[in-house]
Structure 1
Amino acid sequence: MEFPIIDLLEYQSSVDWLSQHLHPNGLQCPTCGQPSEQAWVFRTTKRSGLITYRCQGCQKVYNLYTGTVFQQRHLTPPQAVLLLRGICKGESSQALAQELGLTYKTVLDLRHQIQANVEAHQPDTPLPDHETETDEMFQNAGEKRDPAP
């Protein structure tokens, strides 16, 4: 049984959450830095329903996804929120694709881009503690009479 979880999220709450986390200083023009409050509302996209702004200073067009991995993708904000949630939880790309109504390739490409961005922003400094504790462990020791890979 498929459960349409995508229909349960409110559109505006998803936009607010994405805006808070993707643009912590507020949505602004990527070229000149003017805030979106000083821009003209250019149009609303048909597929994703995002408001597109035109900067009054440099005339560049931008939206909520500009400068992120979701740029040039036709994801609705609830789809983007649930995709990020699924990737953080470690759900399979196939399950996410079915749940969100996306293709497997789209989910896999976005997963790889997000993981590459996370890896690029990992700190190079060692952890402050000398000991590290974990709650769970996965160990592949092989089967009986079979060597470990």
Structure 2
Amino acid sequence: MSDDPFAASDAILVAADPETVFAFLDDPANHAAITPGLADVRDVEPLENGGKRLSYTYRMAGMGIDGEIVQTVHDPPERHVFDLRGRLTGTIDLRLAPAEGETELTYAATYGLPENALTRLGAPAIRRFNERQLRAALENVAGRFDDE
């Protein structure tokens, strides 16, 4: 784990093959379903690299924060990388690897938060928040495949 309070990384085993998990994560509507705080995904546009550009609204500390996500890496079935642009900035890197009939999904992210949130929360609280959000997203992905 990095000392950067705005970086978080974790992994989970998902009970599906990498191709199936990759396809699930390739649908922006699924990110809204699994990501705590992601309230809206809209204006989805395909990109030449196979990825997508979209607008989103993220709810944090009672605030709705709008921004844009641009998928910079779309490498089936191994990797998705997204750049967050707007008031929230950062990078989300999702890596998928086969693991004995399942998929090891690794989620690494670095976030930049609006200044007023930084002032109110402070680095330790931001680190805990990011780690909880990331873990919840991973568990939500795994939960989608538990009963299949």
**TM exceeds 0.5?**
no
Q: Per residue, is there more helix in 1 or in 2?
A: 1
Q: Per residue, is there more strand in 1 or in 2?
A: 2
Higher relative contact order (CA 8 A, sep 6+): 2
Q: TM-score, normalised by structure 1?
A: 0.29
